[in-house]
Structure 1
Amino acid sequence: METLKMRTAGTDGPAVLLLHGLGATGAVWDGLMAEPGYRWLAPDLPGHGGSARLPHYSFGGLAAAVADALPERGPLLVIGHSLGGVVGLALASGWFGVKVAGLFAIGVKVEWSESDLSRATAMAAKPPRVFPSREDAERGFLKIAGLVGIAEADPDGVAETEGGWRLALDPRAFGVGAPDMRGLLGAARCPVVLAAGEHDPMSRPEQLRALSPHSAVLRGLGHNAHVEDPSSLLPFPRQFVL
């Protein structure tokens, strides 16, 4: 598989891997990557932005692709949002040859209903929508990534196609399914903190506390807390010394 598109920043300090959520790209971490004192690594996950697609999407497949694209095997810290948090948990198992020293997983959806899974399956089966203009496609990108009103569209989030523009996102990525959170947490070989924005409708603090005593609430923030207030995440890497 092609190497994933990888954004990097910083030359000194601990390495921190940043994993975005479903529908977004590594650009959501631009605010955090402006902070000094770390070596930031932010790939576009497979099937997103400037990265190649996978023939089939699974949490393990995504983790393997990220591991293969890393310029170093660790130790490193991982901050993952939503889908990226689950991919971070898979990496934290050590199964993919990466040494993770600590994981901060934000906004992971841990409770899935049959209706949730049915909707995701239906979205995975839909052909990519063709928009009449780039601007329309960019609005579609922001909507599906939950970034309307809090971020600009990443140019890599859309692509020109026959008859107009489409999202770069491979719709089949929606078919990744629900994570086995208890199994992944049990397999993790490093400290894991589950976090959610206080106003995140997809990942409620009480749901995270039921899974792990190591949870955190990001006050005043929503599902995309890392975009709304990047500095709210800085206490996590500062508590680890690599």
Structure 2
Amino acid sequence: MIEARYVEAAGTLAFTELAGSGPVVLCLHTAGQSGVQWRRTTAALAAAGYRVVVPDLPGHGRSEPAANGPVRDLAEYARFCLDLLDRLGLADPLVVGCSIGGKIALQIAALSGDVRGVVAMAAEAGRGRVKVSGLERELEDIAAPSRTDRTHLGTLAVVGSGVDPARAELIATMHRREDPAVSNSDLIGWGTHDVRAELGSIRCPVHLVAGEDDLWIKPDAVRAAAGELPDGRFTLLPGVGHYPMEELPDFARTLTGWLAELAEVRA
């Protein structure tokens, strides 16, 4: 059973799904999206013996906006996540994130020693590869009617070549739900956030994952970041793009394997 709950955290009333019992797994979505990206993962993770926590970040999905408007500093999301876990009475989490969620996962580990392990997918430790000035200009006229079409086509462009076309179309259609002001602000955060100087302070085991077909990142940069971590590892996924949890048909089984490896390392 998946429980839906609203939780006041970091000054925001946040929508959160919870399921299962056992070690805590916090699952973080991508820019502009929501916890719906984990809809095919949550129940399977819970069945595997985890306490799964899937929030909609402030301003996303069913969560209220952040107190100061759309967030451009991903560290603010990291602090929100830590406060959310504290208010839920949950500690020692495994943190799994994709895209900005992967960057936030790394930031959480850098901010807190109370992290069991991290799986950061589709995220470089340094600044993301976007043109921040262009995103800033779009915020001045965000109501352009072609925005949803651009989101749809842009999503299709970064889905892996190994993904069934019907599944790729479903992913792109789901992604059309974005709030442009929120997603642009997220991408500004993606393009400015840099945790490289903090990698050496992360003491929990970290698994960095890159899709071979991901146009948003450079896998070699992700591999290099794994080498800079005190306890890092790297996986390259052939035929996969920017959204492993949506692209891989049996992603939950893959993720439980990664989480089990992190637990063994921690032990």
Q: TM-score range by the shorter chain?
A: 0.7 to 0.9
Aligned length: 227
* Residue of structure 1 equivalent to 2:225: 211
Segments of structure 1 that go 5 or more residues without pairing to the other structure are 159-165
Deviations 1:43-68 (A, max 9, x none): 11122222222325312211111222
- When residues 2 and 217 of structure 1 are mapped into structure 2, their CA distance, relative to the original with a 3 A threshold, is same
- When residues 199 and 172 of structure 1 are mapped into structure 2, their CA distance, relative to the original with a 3 A threshold, is closer
The code of the aligned residue for 2:102 comes to: G
Q: What SS does the corresponding residue of 1:121 show, helix, strand or coil? A: helix
- State the shift of 1:186 in Å: 2.2
**2:129 aligned with 1:129, yes or no?**
no
Distance 2:151 2:61 in 1: 10
Distance 2:225 2:121 in 1: 14
Q: What SS does the corresponding residue of 2:213 show, helix, strand or coil? A: coil
Distance 1:51 1:142 in 2: 23
Is contact 1:157-1:169 (8 Å) kept? no
Deviations 1:205-227 (A, max 9, x none): 21112222321112221111111
Is contact 2:155-2:172 (8 Å) kept? no
Q: What SS does the corresponding residue of 2:215 show, helix, strand or coil? A: coil
1:1-242 equivalence runs, <5 A: 1-9=11-19, 11-35=20-44, 36-37=47-48, 38-54=50-66, 55=68, 56-70=71-85, 71-95=88-112, 99-110=114-125, 112=127, 116-123=131-138, 125-129=139-143, 142=152, 149-151=169-171, 157=177, 169=182, 171-176=184-189, 177-213=191-227, 214-229=233-248, 230=251, 231-241=253-263
Q: What SS does the corresponding residue of 1:119 show, helix, strand or coil? A: helix
Length-normalised TM-score, structure 2: 0.72
- When residues 183 and 121 of structure 1 are mapped into structure 2, their CA distance, relative to the original with a 3 A threshold, is farther
Identity %: 26
The code of the aligned residue for 2:187 comes to: F
- When residues 100 and 111 of structure 1 are mapped into structure 2, their CA distance, relative to the original with a 3 A threshold, is closer
Is contact 2:152-2:176 (8 Å) kept? no
The code of the aligned residue for 1:99 comes to: D
- When residues 207 and 150 of structure 1 are mapped into structure 2, their CA distance, relative to the original with a 3 A threshold, is farther
- State the shift of 1:111 in Å: 5.7
Q: Which range moved further: 22-31 or 68-77?
A: 68-77
Is contact 1:4-1:45 (8 Å) kept? yes
* Residue of structure 1 equivalent to 2:7: none
Deviations 1:19-65 (A, max 9, x none): 11112111101111121122211111122222222325312211111
- State the shift of 1:126 in Å: 3.3
Distance 1:172 1:59 in 2: 10
Distance 1:112 1:180 in 2: 5
Q: Which has the higher helix share?
A: 2
